[in-house]
Each structure stands twice: as structure tokens, then as C-alpha cells.
Amino acid sequence: MGGHSHWSTIKRHKGAVDAKRGKIFTKIIREITIASRAGGDPDANPTLRTCIAKAKEMNMPADTIKRAIQRGTGELPGVNYEEFTLEGYGPSGTGVLLEIATDNRNRTVAEIRNLFGKNNGNMAEAGAVAWQFQKKGLFIVEGSDIDEDQLLTLALEAGAEDVKETAGGFEITTELGEFEAVKEALQKANIETAVAEVTFLPQNLVKLDEKAAIQMLKLMEILDDQDDVQKVHANFDIPEEIMEKVAAAE
């Protein structure tokens, strides 16, 4: 199974753990604030609308969402975040792409370099890894009782680029311009999505053995826990039987 779909699902289950909730709230608030720079009306700002939906999924209070929007639009004072990407390599040469939002670039770069170095990875020069990823819309539909033909027809007619069956359900990808249309079509059909986001998807995958898989997932979690890292993307592929063994050992 591909790196991103694995990691999106793992992160979603992690989000249910109360110990992680504060850190997840902080990252979502930052996403909302940044998205609000383009306008505080979610009806006219699809990125903000997606961020708010994610916040509500995590049961974030409405007042917290409102203040994050107001900081982004300038109605309230707030931190000025700089957005950029950092690149690196993980175990077995896997490519790692990080989306960063920080108020101190030098501090963040130094911390990320240190995390890579201590966890079987290393930082890469700009452009060394990014070319292996494309920005796409991604939906993950979980469940074994889904009508494959119905989902395929619905998604493709709404503008989806591809629909793939996975071990736990289906993965739908779209071009950026078709993301909202496919999202709306799925919602109207009452099809629940475990993941619905615009993200960087790997164009080629590196298959990992058990040892490398354990190292890779540890690196992903450590990078994801860093305060200024908004999203972590990687092009690893962990066979299902190894993934089950790793999950059982945790």
C-alpha cells in the first residue's frame, strides 16, 4: 500500500488519542489561519472550507475556529507564518517531502535536519525529492460493503482522475480543479470519506522490508510531531503482511 494512504489512515487513528489532540489542534489552527489569508469566507475559499471541516471532525470549538480565521484575515493580531517545503531521504532511499509553516525558518530547518540525522535519514537539497510528487486531490473510502461500480461511476462522472481498490476500501485521486466537485458528489451520495484533502502524492514507490518499515514509520511519526511540520509525505510502500506485523508489535 502506498505511503500516503497508509500515513493518512495512521494519522487519522492517532488523532483519536487525547494525548495527541492538543498538538493536532495547533496544526489545524495554523492551517486555518494560513488559509484565511486568501479570504475568511469558507463559501468562497475551498481551502479554508476543507480546513474547517477537518477542525469540526476533531470537535474543535467554534470560537477557536473563528479566532483562527480572524487572525488570518487580520481582524485579530497573530503570528506571521512563513510557508515552504523541506526535502529529505528516509530508510532505503525513500523520498520525504515536508510542508512547513513557521515563524522562524532557521530554527525549524536546524531542528528538522537534526531529526533526520538521528532517525535513519538525511536532509536533501531543494528539488532533490519534490519532483517525485504531484499535488492532487485524494479521497480514501473505507469499508468492504461499498458498491464498486457505483463508486467508480459516481467519482469518474464528477471528474475524478482515478479510482483504485485498496486492502481496506478505495482510493480516489483528482486533479486540483476537480477536487471540490468530486467531494460534493460523494457527500450528496452519502459516501463517507476517511480522508478528503489536497496533498502531494508520490509518483513512484520504494518497497520496504520489515526493518526499514519500522524505521520509516518511526521517522514519519517523529517528523509529524515536530510543531512546525504541517504535513509529511513519503513514497514508501509497505506490503500488507509487514504492515500488520508492525501494527501488532506497537
Three-state SS string over 91-155 comes to HHHCEEEEEEEECCHHHHHHHHHHHHHHCCCEEECCCCCHHHEEEEEEEEEECCCCCHHHHHHHH
3-state secondary structure the chain: CEHHHHHHHHHHHHCCCHHHHHHHHHHHHHHHHHHHHHCCCCCCCHHHHHHHHHHHHCCCCHHHHHHHHHHHHCCCCCCCCEEEEEEEECHHHCEEEEEEEECCHHHHHHHHHHHHHHCCCEEECCCCCHHHEEEEEEEEEECCCCCHHHHHHHHHHHCCCEEEEECCEEEEEECHHHHHHHHHHHHHCCCCCCEEEEEEEECCCEECCHHHHHHHHHHHHHHHHCCCEEEEEECEECCHHHHHHHHHHC
Which of 2-11, 89-98, 141-150, 203-212 shows the lowest mean pLDDT across its residues? 2-11
Average pLDDT over residues 130-138: 94
Average pLDDT over residues 217-221: 90
Which of 20-24, 221-225, 230-234 shows the lowest mean pLDDT across its residues? 20-24
Could you tell me the fold of the domain covering 132-202?
Answer: Alpha-Beta Plaits (3.30.70)
CB 219 within 8 A of CB 146: no
Whether pLDDT at 56 is above 70: yes
Average pLDDT over residues 1-22: 53
Same fold for the pair 3-73 and 82-130+205-235: no
CATH code of 82-130+205-235, in short, is 3.30.70.980
pTM over 0.95: no
Res 240: pLDDT: 77
Res 147: pLDDT: 82
CATH code of 3-73, in short, is 1.10.10.200
Domain boundaries, the chain: 3-73, 82-130+205-235, 132-202
- The per-residue pLDDT of the chain, averaged, comes to 87
Give the confidence band of 16 by pLDDT, cuts at 50, 70, 90: very low
Measured between alpha carbons, how far is residue 137 from residues 31, 55, 99, 183 in Å? 17, 19, 16, 9
Residues forming beta bridges with residue 204, ordered by sequence position:
none
Nearest one of 72, 77, 79 to 55, comparing CA atoms: 72
